[in-house]
Amino acid sequence: MRHNFTLILLVTLAVWRQPVQAQQLCNFGVRAAGIANTSVTLPDVWALGNSTAGIARLEHPTAGVYAENRFGEAAFTTVALKFVYPTQNYGTYGLSLSRFGDALFSQQHAGLGVAPKLGQFSLGAKADVWQVSVQEYGSQKAVALSAGVQGEVIPDLYFGAFAFNLNQAQLASFEDESRFVSPLQSY
């Protein structure tokens, strides 16, 4: 009987699963790439795109520049700039900018984030403005909100979670084709 229940549960979950994706549109940084973008617990400037809570543990102003060209094609070029400024009493603030694509299709983003450190925990919130441009179709903009948390469970063992596009921003209303992916990551 127990095996039947387990089988029914697995089949039910497989049929009624919600679409969930474990990545988002702007994972950057070589350290994150080196661990397959399982980066929600990392405290660096790239946490501004991976989990905003990670910038709270930075102690000095930090900037990062990123450039990637996949397959040697200009159409698959990504560039990004991140800047983080920690304050003594009001948390850490961050600015992120990125661009992907060429004249036929491009995707730009600008984001502002804040992350206070609360004892052994860090909270982060970010607002991103995304613009997608397609030649001959024009461009659309949308604002996506995200939030993250990090905590040191025991010394040198961290927990992190990050949710992107909490407000379910859409670029178009036609059959949800242009809805941003809404991942929930935790490691």
Distance CA 71, CA 26 (A): 18
Give the DSSP per-residue string, 111-151.
EEEEE-EETTEEEEEEEEEEEEEETTTEEEEEEEEEEEEEE
**27 band by pLDDT with thresholds 50, 70 and 90:** low
Give me the pLDDT at residue 156, please.
Answer: 86
Q: Is residue 58 part of a domain?
A: yes
C-alpha angle 8/11/17, rounded to 5°? 130
Tens-place pLDDT, residues 106-115:
999 999 999 9
Say yes or no to pLDDT of 19 above 50. Answer: no
Tens-place pLDDT, residues 76-125:
898 999 999 999 999 999 999 999 999 899 999 999 999 999 989 999 99
User: The pTM is what?
Assistant: 0.75
In terms of residue numbers, what domain contains 113? 45-171
**44 band by pLDDT with thresholds 50, 70 and 90:** confident
Domains identified in the chain, total number? 1
Tens-place pLDDT, residues 141-168:
999 999 999 998 888 898 999 998 898 8
Give me the pLDDT at residue 99, please.
Answer: 94
The neighbour count for residue 67, using CB atoms within 10 Å, is 9
Q: Is residue 57 part of a domain?
A: yes
Give me the pLDDT at residue 5, please.
Answer: 62
The residue among 97, 42, 37 whose CA lies nearest residue 66 is: 97
The residue among 38, 163, 102, 169 whose CA lies nearest residue 46 is: 38
The CB-side HSE value for 185 (13 A sphere, CA atoms) comes to: 29
**10-29: average pLDDT:** 54
Q: Is residue 52 part of a domain?
A: yes
Tens-place pLDDT, residues 163-182:
988 988 887 776 655 555 55
Say yes or no to pLDDT of 57 above 60. Answer: yes
Say yes or no to pLDDT of 67 above 70. Answer: yes
Give me the pLDDT at residue 2, please.
Answer: 60
The residue among 32, 53, 63, 23 whose CA lies nearest residue 118 is: 53
**42-57: average pLDDT:** 89
Q: Is residue 4 part of a domain?
A: no
| In contact, 28 and 54? CB cutoff 8 Å | no
